């Protein structure tokens, strides 16, 4: 693993219980500063791969290296190692409600830095900066549970970015968002990658994949990596997209105009 690698999967497998393997022999590398999409139908294993990257679950076989260190349950049982890892790797859950649990927006954003042991003055300054960046000032004292879906997504992402992570991992980030909020999120992801952050996004939203990533990995419904290469090539291979259940026969792309829709021309 070279210093430029952020993640390296070496024959990684994962199973539920003793016999039910979700996938086996997954091999790929994520280089620092890349923006990558994991494409696959629901149930293909995208979320499980992300959780392994984030240290929320662990490989049943093979190994994951991150920043040159093998990431195991034993390694992250060390409190200082876990804090450092979760400071460097931020994770946005698919369902924002699973990520929000405090009584106000500002407390939600402050929770992570406080857990990292940052001084209160530094935490306050970081929270104020992120609240201003996300336009959340008028919601700072509101309960996260009383927010709209788009507002919850912004608060959840603000809670990640307040730690200034090197890697940002997002699971189906556009689910449930209106078009304006989807555009805001897309532009933010591009900006964060331009600033040098490594971005890994799991999605079945092909418009998002086209907009944010130069590289795509495609997972089949039987949990294999069947493509690893330029996103442009992934999205232009109609037969493969149909085979992995990402599109149906009515889907097509007008090349050159990046126009995608799901109905046949008359």
Q: Could you tell me the residue range of the domain that residue 242 belongs to? A: 5-261
**Confidence band, pLDDT 50/70/90 cuts, at residue 7:** very high
Residue 50 lies in a domain: yes
| 115 occurs within a structural domain | yes
* 9 in a structural domain: yes
Alpha-carbon distance of 96 to 222, in angstroms, equals: 28
**Looking at the domain assignment, is residue 11 inside a domain?**
yes
DSSP state for residue 266 in the 8-state scheme: -
Number of structural domains (the chain) is 1
Closest C-alpha among 192, 180, 214 to residue 30 = 214
**96-132 residue pLDDT tens:** 887 788 889 999 999 999 988 899 999 999 999 999 9
Residue 255: what pLDDT?
Answer: 54
Residue 235 lies in a domain: yes
Q: Which two tokens stand for residue 150?
A: 């788009």
In CATH, what number is assigned to the domain containing residue 240? 3.40.50.300
**Residue 198 lies inside a defined structural domain of this protein:** yes
In sequence order, what are the beta bridge partners of 61?
13
Q: pLDDT at residue 146 above 80?
A: yes
Residues 6+ apart with CB under 8 A from 65: 1, 5, 7, 8, 10, 71
Tell whether 144 is covered by a domain: yes
User: Residues 53, 64: contact at Cβ < 8 Å?
Assistant: yes
pLDDT of residue 2: 55
Secondary structure E strands in the chain: 5-16, 20-31, 35-39, 61-66, 69-70, 89-92, 167-171, 198-203, 215-219, 225-230, 252-254, 259-261
- Tell me the pTM: 0.89
- 27-44, pLDDT tens digit by residue? 999 999 999 999 999 889
Residue 266 falls inside a structural domain: no
């Amino acid at each position: 693993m070279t210093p430029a690698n952020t993640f390296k999967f070496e024959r990684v497998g994962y199973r539920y219980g003793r016999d039910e393997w979700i996938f086996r022999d997954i091999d790929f590398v994520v280089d620092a500063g890349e923006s990558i999409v994991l494409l696959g139908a629901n149930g293909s294993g995208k979320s499980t791969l992300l959780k392994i990257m984030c240290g929320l679950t662990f490989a049943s076989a093979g190994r994951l290296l991150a920043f040159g260190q093998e990431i195991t349950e034993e390694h992250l049982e060390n409190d200082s190692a876990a804090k450092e890892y979760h400071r460097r790797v931020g994770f946005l859950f698919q369902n924002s409600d699973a990520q929000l649990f405090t009584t106000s927006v500002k407390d939600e954003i402050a929770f992570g830095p406080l857990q990292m042991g940052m001084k209160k003055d530094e935490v306050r300054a970081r929270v104020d900066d992120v609240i201003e960046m996300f336009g959340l000032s008028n919601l700072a004292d509101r309960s996260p549970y009383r927010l709209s879906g788009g507002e919850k997504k912004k608060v959840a992402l603000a809670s990640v970015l307040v730690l200034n992570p090197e890697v940002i991992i997002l699971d189906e980030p556009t689910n449930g968002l209106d078009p304006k909020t989807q555009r805001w999120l897309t532009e933010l992801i591009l900006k964060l990658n331009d600033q040098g952050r490594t971005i890994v996004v799991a999605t079945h939203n092909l418009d998002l994949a086209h907009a944010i990533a130069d590289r795509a990995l495609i997972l089949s419904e039987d949990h294999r990596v069947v493509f690893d290469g330029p996103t442009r090539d992934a999205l232009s291979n109609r037969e493969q997209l149909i085979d992995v259940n990402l599109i149906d026969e009515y889907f097509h792309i007008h090349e050159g105009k990046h126009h995608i829709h799901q109905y046949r021309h008359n």
